[in-house]
A and B are shown apart, each in its own frame.
Chain A
Amino acid sequence: MTMPFYVAPEQVMKDRAEYAQKGIARGRSLIASTFSDGILIVAENPSRSLHKISEIYDRIAFAGVGKYNEFDQLRVAGIRHADTKGYAYSREDVDARSLANLYAQYLGQVFTHEMKPMEVEILVAELGIESSGDQLYHIAYEGTIMDEERFTVLGGDAEPIMERMESSWSRDHSLEQAISEMVAALAGPRKTIAPSELEVAALARSGGRRAFRRIGEAELQAILGAG
């Protein structure tokens, strides 16, 4: 019979964090940013059908990086939470803050209690009635939750992208301007990303009840080609 070796809790947490970070760093990054008409999310994603960005509710969007099956499970749970809440109470009562908190609690729980942490970083974005009400909740693999009012970057390569966004971001950008700047920030100075490699979606105040809208390849081509 073998006795398990003693491992200090600090070491356990460090190992788990490293494991999760490695998993997330393998994937490509994603930017969410506010613009004049709402919120834009731009991701590098060569797949047409396996989405990183999705609709949760009328004014709420979800995005994830890392392991697809893990963040997709969280996405579906988010839709279920929002739809049951809106059905039982009212559509107005569904908000991103409470959903972001649930995600944070769950990720925190998994990080400390399960064998394997989730290798994901997720975003819950909510479109405000006015631009001052736009909210971006960035939730890390261990349950840390950050709320941003301007922009946020998910994924392994966040820091340089963050710096590029810092210099180009403006709340007054039009949809076209914002997409061009975000794609440039995502790509960096030495690379260009083709429209077929991008997944872009917007929560637009001008979009009616269901504010979520995907911006397809043809539309992207027109925007990026012109810019």
Chain B
Amino acid sequence: MAPNLPLFSPPEDPGPSFIRLLEQMGHLGWGHMTQANLPSAIHGFQDPSPNIQPLRHGTTIVAVRCAGGVVMAGDRRATEGYSIANRTMEKVFPADSHSGVAIAGTAGPAVEMVKLFQTQLEHYEKVEGAALSLEGKANQLAMMVRGHLPMAMQGLVVIPLFAGYDMRRNTGRIFTYDVTGGHYEESDFHATGSGGRDARTAIKLGYKDNMSVDEAITLVVEALYQAADEDSATGGPDMVRGIYPTVAVITEAGFERVTDERVALSFRELIAAKQQGGQLP
């Protein structure tokens, strides 16, 4: 047989799925992360409540539909219990050229899930010669979340938020998930994570149909500001260090990260407006 060239007989062929390929090649794939072979350090966690405290979670991630696409954003704080573990954590990633994924929950498996998801989409696109439909991508992510359920049961929860530009329907679309892999399409906006409720309220108050991209950026900035104001696990704009939430715009032209300067400007305008209105002490 060929030395290392991954060729398969028809019944074993993994097709365009990278996850099935990993399984066929005997790598520790996502599906293998069952209760039975969890790393020993986490294996003991049967009752999550006292133990999940030191693990990183708590976040606010948002997505808002606007004219010609969708805007995604996430704060930058990672926490371990009551202390801050990381101030520059990225929680919004490109999934492929025209979609993005944001993560809330335990940082380690969440980042790993994103990496696997990105590879899965690119692998499919290269093997098949065409990208998956947006709905197909959302389904793939749902299967990964479902595969992660045993870990979630032990407290290592990962909840993604998926959004993208649907090239066939020429519109932005947002998909939300629960721990069991259930996924639901949102019509206009959504926010999850520990500050998600506050962010959702802020967006609900300011949302208009067919907002421009700039208006949507202003709105997600306001939402993240309000979430950080109420939730200790969500980081606000760090003007001292120059660290601002991640904001990305996905349109027909593709996934594009908004520059830090642009986000900083938006925060300065927001704060100036609040000070003028006498809303801040």
Contacts and interface: CB of A to CB of B under 8 A. Distances in A.
A146 interface: no
What class of interface size applies to chain B in its complex with A? Answer: 20 to 34
A69 B32 CA distance: 33
A221 to B, nearest CB: 22
B96 to A, nearest CB: 10
B3 A105 contact: yes
Interface in A45-79: 49, 51, 54-56, 73-74, 76-77, 79
Interface stretch (A22-30, A34-42, A80-88): A80-88
A109 B3 CA distance: 9
B271 interface: no
Given A77-B5, A80-B21, A106-B5, A87 B129 contact: no
A141 interface: no
Contacts of A103: 5
B86 to A, nearest CB: 21
Contacts of A55: 126
Contact of B27 (A77, A81, A84): A84
A102 interface: yes
A85 to B, nearest CB: 10
B129 A102 contact: no
A133 to B, nearest CB: 23
Contact of B126 (A74, A79, A88): A79
Nearest to A49: B129
B2 A80 contact: no
A79 B2 contact: no
Contacts of A86: 119
A109 B27 contact: no
Interface in B17-41: 18, 21-22, 25, 27
Contacts of A76: 127
A81 B22 CA distance: 11
A102 B126 contact: no
A98 to B, nearest CB: 9
B6 interface: yes
A74 B116 CA distance: 23
Contact of B6 (A54, A77, A88): A77
A86 B5 CA distance: 15
B119 A87 contact: yes
A33 to B, nearest CB: 23
- What DSSP secondary structure best describes chain A's contact surface? helix
Contact of A81 (B4, B18, B115): B4
Given A56-B126, A84-B27, A102 B2 contact: yes
B27 A88 contact: yes
A84 B25 CA distance: 9
Nearest to B97: A210
B18 A51 contact: no
Contacts of A79: 123, 126-127
B119 A83 contact: yes
A84 B6 contact: yes
Contacts of A56: 126
Contacts of A109: 2
B273 interface: no
Contacts of B5: 74, 77, 81, 102-103, 105-106
A77 B3 contact: no
A103 B2 CA distance: 9
Given A84-B25, A106-B2, A77 B126 contact: no
B7 interface: yes
A84 B126 contact: no
Contacts of A106: 2-3, 5, 7
Given A54-B129, A55-B126, A80 B27 contact: no
User: Among B14, B116, B127, which residue has the most Cβ atoms of chain A within 10 A?
Assistant: B127
B18 A83 contact: yes
A28 to B, nearest CB: 20
Contact of B123 (A74, A83, A210): A83
A106 B123 CA distance: 22
9 contacts: A51-B129, A54-B126, A77-B7, A80-B21, A83-B126, A87-B115, A87-B116, A102-B3, A102-B5
Closest 5 CB pairs of A and B: A80-B6, A106-B2, A102-B5, A106-B5, A79-B126
Given A76-B127, A87-B18, A106-B5, 19 more contacts: A51-B129, A54-B129, A56-B126, A74-B5, A80-B21, A81-B6, A83-B18, A83-B122, A84-B21, A84-B22, A84-B25, A86-B119, A87-B22, A87-B116, A87-B119, A102-B2, A102-B5, A105-B2, A106-B3
